[in-house]
Structure 1
Amino acid sequence: MDDQDGYFGERVAAAYDESSADMFDPSVVETTVGFLAGLAGGGRALELGIGTGRIALPLARHGVPVRGIDLSRAMVARLRAKPGGDAIGVTIGDFATTRVDGTFSVAYLLFNTIMNLTTQAAQVACFRNAAAHLEPGGCFVIEVMIPELRKLPAGQNVVPFHVSPTRWAFDVYDVATQATSSNYVEVVDGRGEYRSIPFRYVWPSELDLMAQLAGLRLRERWEGWTREPFTSESGRHVSVWERPAD
């Protein structure tokens, strides 16, 4: 792992688009881009954790000027190598604290990336950073999973999410601290490899309080990008907080 890129160094970046293929499905990308373009309303967009440009590139092709922040130079290099990637300004840094010039109609943080910030303080700082970039009336959007604690029997802290003859993947939860990790064991040419990435899970109500601390207020919350109702059975949510126009 390249330390300057955190947990998303060259090895992860090289395979990221393929390993996240479901999220690159055109129908997923199109509905996400349409949702965000509607919020941008002709203004600029800021992506926190821009990565390889899964959403930034099609959003820019949709006519929305996009800027990005990302800690991983390896991920951003993949963005740069794609058509149109050189036209998107990206600042290398921690998206919880890194500032870029200007204000934006919409800032967004997708695909569970808020959980890459592994302390509550860092997640609160992220909300404040996003709010500082928004123009009055602008919106901050987060897409994130609901913690799968209902899958845990008493005394168990592991939830498997992939099992095959050569690959095992599982999440480990600490319900006392909200610390979690995604863990991967893979057998290649008869040799086992193990990788673990730490996260901090966060509840919708906790995110609403973080937004309030940053001077934002909840505008809407859905299960997904096509605005399905968010219920107690939802496995994720798309939430939109806005900076008051006054």
Structure 2
Amino acid sequence: MSDELTYGEIYAPIYEKYTTLQGKVAEVDDTVAFLERYCSGGSALELGIGDGRVAVPLSERGVKVDGIDNSRSMLELLAKRTDLIKAWQGDISHFRSEQRYRLVYCVYFTFTLLFTREAQIACLRSAAEALEHEGVLVIELGVPGSDPRVGRQQTTTARLVDHENTILNVAVHDPLNQNLVSTLLWFSGTSVRRLPQRVRYVYHQELDSMAECVGLELAERWGDWARGAFTERSERHILVYRRGSP
């Protein structure tokens, strides 16, 4: 899973500032409150734990959180924030855990960093095997139809413009494989950063089908972490899967 590794190593130095600008830090309370209700005093495993943006405040609510990330630099950022979380370097598409968790979760667009359908199915299978019998898997994904890059071969879009920062996304779209290969150009003051990304976007119906292949079934679907309704106007969705009936 070299793409996640590349992502983490490149983004680690600026990850906190970037996620703040993207509004991800501001919604942490809603994210943690959403996830906490599925733990019920049990433990949780985050796939792509990064710098602990979600895991640290979740652990502060009394949840025992473990994590996996393919980036050593991200794990070093996490270690600086807390020593209460056990995290290890590994591939979220192929992992094994002797421990079973009440909750396994994957937030932001981490799941789409798995660049093939096969890798995404393998991740779902690994996650399902790590769940307790009554455990749940929670995944946050963007809605491809709301992404201006999908449906066009090449695009240049503005992701953020304020008094200090301009972030542009230049992308090439491969609709056959549902891949987007892009570069973020971040202009801040007199500096310019080039941040490459490679993702495989997933439609919610497809994810439901892939989950069924590994024995999971959809339990809930929400439009945001505040449990807003998922509608045709939603730009993302939060999916909750449980083990299917035997």
Check whether TM > 0.5. yes
Measured in 1, the distance between the counterparts of 2:87 and 2:149 equals: 40
Note the 1:135-174 alignment, pairs <5 A: 135-148=132-145, 151=148, 156-158=153-155, 160-162=157-159, 167-174=167-174
C-alpha change, 1:20 and 1:182, in structure 2 (3 Å) is: farther
Secondary structure (helix, strand or coil) at the match of 1:95 reads coil
Measured in 1, the distance between the counterparts of 2:24 and 2:140 equals: 12
CA contact (8 A) 1:182 1:198 kept: yes
CA contact (8 A) 1:137 1:242 kept: yes
Measured in 1, the distance between the counterparts of 2:188 and 2:25 equals: 25
Structure 2 equivalent of residue 117 of structure 1:
114
Cα displacement (A) at 1:225: 1.2
Flag structure 2 segments of 5+ consecutive residues without an equivalent: none
Cα displacement (A) at 1:111: 0.1
CA contact (8 A) 1:5 1:72 kept: yes
Measured in 2, the distance between the counterparts of 1:191 and 1:58 equals: 32
C-alpha change, 1:166 and 1:44, in structure 2 (3 Å) is: closer
Structure 2 equivalent of residue 179 of structure 1:
179
Measured in 2, the distance between the counterparts of 1:187 and 1:136 equals: 48
Secondary structure (helix, strand or coil) at the match of 1:91 reads strand
Percent of pairs with identical residues: 35
Structure 2 equivalent of residue 18 of structure 1:
17
CA contact (8 A) 1:163 1:169 kept: no
Structure 1 equivalent of residue 96 of structure 2:
99
Secondary structure (helix, strand or coil) at the match of 1:197 reads strand
CA contact (8 A) 1:220 1:240 kept: yes
Note the 1:153-232 alignment, pairs <5 A: 156-158=153-155, 160-162=157-159, 167-186=167-186, 194-232=194-232
Structure 1 equivalent of residue 78 of structure 2:
79
Equivalent residues, number: 240
Q: Greater shift after overlay, 107-116 or 186-195?
A: 186-195
CA contact (8 A) 1:162 1:170 kept: no
CA contact (8 A) 2:103 2:136 kept: yes
Cα displacement (A) at 1:187: 5.1
Structure 2 equivalent of residue 49 of structure 1:
48
C-alpha change, 1:116 and 1:154, in structure 2 (3 Å) is: closer
Structure 2 equivalent of residue 242 of structure 1:
242
Q: What CA deviation, in whole Å up to 9, does each residue of 1:185-229 have, x standing for no partner?
A: 245787865332110000001110111011011000010111111
Measured in 2, the distance between the counterparts of 1:188 and 1:32 equals: 29
TM-score calculated relative to the size of structure 2 = 0.88
TM-score calculated relative to the size of structure 1 = 0.88
Measured in 1, the distance between the counterparts of 2:89 and 2:138 equals: 21
Structure 2 equivalent of residue 8 of structure 1:
8
Cα displacement (A) at 1:159: 5.2
Q: What CA deviation, in whole Å up to 9, does each residue of 1:80-128 have, x standing for no partner?
A: 101xx21111121001112222100110000011100000000000000
Flag structure 1 segments of 5+ consecutive residues without an equivalent: none
Cα displacement (A) at 1:155: 5.7
Secondary structure (helix, strand or coil) at the match of 1:8 reads helix
Structure 1 equivalent of residue 58 of structure 2:
59
